[in-house]
């Protein structure tokens, strides 16, 4: 097991390295220049541009910039954001929790509602309920997250005023409010963004889980169990489910990149202060260090997710460790 683990970890590092190189090449092949954004509508003097250029090391050749970046990376320094003037790592650290909260809540919903619906569909395969749920899930999967977000924010937030239309917390909450009130406040703000992301992801989870369950339900030992007279409920939740867990773990590994991507739109529409909105803002402003840092962080999360998935697999199924 130890040897396998080491090899797998090494694989993950190599993958991340390739991703890093890819990102850097893509970004620095740019014809654009982040500093020109600043001469937006106020005339900017040449002197000012030169000072800022030197400050951000943009006057160095690309090779030197790459070396500087990698050197910094080893020390955990991702450079300074051009737009915010602060270290990229600090910015990412500030904004990551919000995205994790959003993503985590969506995953939670996926693993409860999505899983349950998928299993239900598989068990009731072919029934009317199954067909309706399939259509429903396909519709949900077809919705652009930003559009759904805009609709929900408008309807629920502005027209009906049931829930906050944007933001993560109420800034006017007095400082002596208890943690319960605060948590409740954040939860209220969380509902719409989570709903938006969940519609799409649960739809996919349902489909996936249904397919996985169906595969398992045909396995010989399940058929045997049924033939032996075991009640259907036990067959489903005692035996079949655990086997269907494998694809679910895969799903977890797959969902990370999708959730992060979806969060770019959803966080923007709901002004949710996470990584997604940070990245969306950095794109327009050509904030190279910030863009690089955010993409790298996302890639790292994805690779880590994949690694953990494999480890989970290995723990559950010894055969995997040998292969």
Partner 1 sequence: MSTVTGWRSRLAFVVMLTAWSIPGAQAQAAPATGIVIVTGQQATTPVPTLMEGAANGVGNQDVADQLFLRLAELGPKAQTAGDRDFVPALARSWTRRDSTTLVFDLDSRARWHDGTPVTARDVVFTFKRAKNPDLAPRVSDLLRQIVSVAAEGDSRVVFRFARPYAEQLYDATYHVAPIPFHLLDSIPPDSVSRSSFATSPIGSGPYRWVRSVPGQFVELAAVPDFFLGKPKIARVILRTAVEPSARLNLLLSGQADAMDIIPPPSVNQVAADTTLRLIAVPSSTMGFLLFNQRDPKNRARPHSILADNRVRRAITFGLDRRQLVQAVFGSHGMVPYGPVSQLLWIRHRSPRAEGPNVNEARRLLAATGWGDSDADGTLDRDGHPLRLVLSVPNTSGIRRQMALLIQEQLRRIGVQIEILQLEFPIYLERRAAGDFDVDFSSVNQDPSPSGLTQSWACTGGNNVAGYCDRGVDSVMEQAVRGRGDPGERWIEALRKIEEDAAATFLYAPAFMYAVNRRFRGVTITPQSAWLTLRKWSVSPVPVAGRSR
Partner 2 sequence: MTSILEILRSAWRNPRGRTGALLLLIVAVAALVGPWLLPDPLAQPDILAGGLPPGVGHPFGTDQLSRDVLARVVNGARISLGVSVLAVALSVTLGAAVGIVAGYWGGAIDAALMRLVDGALAIPRLFILLLVLAVWERVPVLALILIIGVTGWFATSRLVRGEVLRIREEGYVQAAEALGARRRRIIFRHLLPNALGPLLVAATLGVGDVILLEAGLSFLGLGIQPPTPSWGGMILDSREVMVSAPWTGIFPGLAIVVTVLSANLFGDALRDAVDPRSA
Q: How far is the CB of 320 from partner 1 (least distance, A)?
A: 27
Does 152 engage in binding with partner 2 (CB under 8 A)? no
CA distance readout (Å), 66 to 17, 76, 116, 257, 289: 13, 15, 48, 26, 11
Instruction: Tell me which residues in 192-231 interact with partner 1 (CB under 8 A).
Output: none
Q: Which residue reads 């309706």 in tokens?
A: 132
In whole angstroms, how far apart are CA 207 and each of 32, 119, 167? Answer: 43, 10, 32
Q: Answer with the entry of partner 1, partner 2, none that 308 interacts with (C-beta below 5 to 8 A by kind).
A: none
| Structural Rg of the chain based on CA atoms | 24
Apex 1 CA angle, 243 and 242, nearest 5? 10
* Nearest distance, CB of residue 22 and partner 2, angstroms: 6
| Least gap, CB of 162 to partner 1 (angstroms) | 7
Owner of token pair 């906050």:
164
Q: How far is CA 133 from the centre of its chain?
A: 25
Site string for partner 2, 223-262 (x = CB under 8 A): ----------------------------------xx-xx-
Residue 99, both tokens: 């995205």
- Cα separation, 168 vs 190, whole angstroms: 7
- Distance of alpha carbon 68 from alpha carbon 59, whole angstroms: 13
Rounded least distance, CB 302 to partner 2, Å:
5
Tell me: does residue 233 bind partner 1 (CB under 8 A): yes
Where does this chain touch partner 1 (CB under 8 A) — which range of 127-135, 256-264, 276-284, 311-319?
276-284
Provide the H-helix boundaries in the chain: 2-28, 46-55, 62-74, 88-109, 115-123, 128-141, 145-152, 179-217, 220-227, 232-234, 241-243, 245-269, 275-284, 288-316, 318-322
* Nearest-approach distance from CB 233 to partner 1, in angstroms: 5
Site membership for partner 1, residue 269 (CB under 8 A): yes
Q: Indicate which single residue of 9, 18, 90, 162 sits in contact with partner 2 (rule: CB under 8 A).
A: 18
Which residues from 170-199 bind partner 2, rule CB under 8 A? none
Encoded one letter per residue, x for contact with partner 1 by CB under 8 A and - for no contact, window 71-90 reads: -----------xxxxx----
Q: Number of residues in contact with partner 1, rule: CB under 8 A?
A: 78
Stretch that binds partner 2, among 24-32, 166-174, 219-227, 308-316 (CB under 8 A): 24-32
The candidate with the shortest Cα–Cα distance to 287, out of 19, 3, 12, 58, is 58
Binders of partner 2 among 288-317, rule CB under 8 A?
291, 294-295, 298-299, 302-303, 306
Going by C-alpha positions, the residue among 263, 3, 245, 41 that lies closest to residue 149 is 263
Residue 183: CB atoms within 10 Å: 11
Identify whether the C-beta of residue 145 lies closer than 8 Å to the C-beta of residue 154: no
Asked if 214 touches partner 2 (CB under 8 A), the answer is: yes
Q: Candidates 140, 164, 293, 306: give the one binding partner 1 (CB under 8 A).
A: 164
154, 177, 221, 223: residue in contact with partner 2 (rule CB under 8 A): 154
Contact footprint for partner 2 (CB under 8 A): 11, 14-19, 22-23, 26-27, 29-32, 131, 134-135, 138-139, 141-148, 150-151, 154, 158-159, 211, 214-215, 218, 257-258, 260-261, 264-265, 279-280, 283-284, 286, 291, 294-295, 298-299, 302-303, 306
């Amino acid at each position: 097991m130890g040897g396998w683990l080491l090899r797998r970890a090494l694989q993950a590092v190599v993958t991340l390295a390739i991703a890093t190189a890819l990102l850097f090449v893509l970004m620095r092949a740019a014809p654009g220049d982040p500093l020109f954004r600043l001469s937006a509508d106020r005339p900017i003097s040449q002197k000012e541009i030169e000072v800022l250029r030197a400050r951000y090391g943009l006057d160095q050749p690309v090779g030197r910039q790459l070396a500087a970046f990698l050197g910094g990376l080893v020390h955990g320094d991702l450079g300074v954001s051009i737009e915010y003037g602060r270290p990229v790592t600090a910015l990412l650290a500030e904004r990551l929790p919000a995205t994790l909260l959003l993503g985590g809540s969506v995953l939670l919903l996926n693993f409860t509602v999505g899983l349950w619906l998928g299993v239900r569909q598989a068990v009731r395969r072919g029934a009317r309920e199954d067909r309706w749920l399939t259509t429903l899930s396909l519709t949900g999967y077809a919705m652009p997250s930003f559009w759904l977000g805009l609709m929900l924010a408008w309807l629920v937030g502005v027209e009906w005023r049931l829930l906050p239309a944007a933001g993560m917390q109420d800034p006017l909450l007095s400082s002596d409010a208890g943690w319960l009130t605060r948590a409740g406040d954040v939860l209220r703000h969380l509902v719409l963004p989570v709903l938006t992301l969940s519609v799409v992801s649960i739809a996919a989870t349902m489909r996936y889980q249904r397919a996985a369950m169906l595969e398992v339900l045909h396995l010989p030992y399940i058929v045997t169990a049924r033939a032996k007279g075991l009640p259907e409920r036990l067959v489903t939740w005692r035996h079949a489910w655990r086997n269907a867990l494998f694809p679910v773990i895969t799903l977890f590994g797959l969902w990370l990149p999708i959730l992060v991507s979806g969060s770019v739109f959803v966080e923007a529409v709901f002004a949710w202060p996470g990584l997604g909105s940070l990245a969306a803002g950095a794109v327009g402003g050509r904030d190279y260090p910030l863009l690089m840092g955010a993409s790298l962080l996302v890639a790292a999360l994805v690779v880590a997710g994949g690694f953990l998935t494999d480890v989970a697999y290995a723990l559950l199924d010894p055969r995997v460790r040998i292969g």
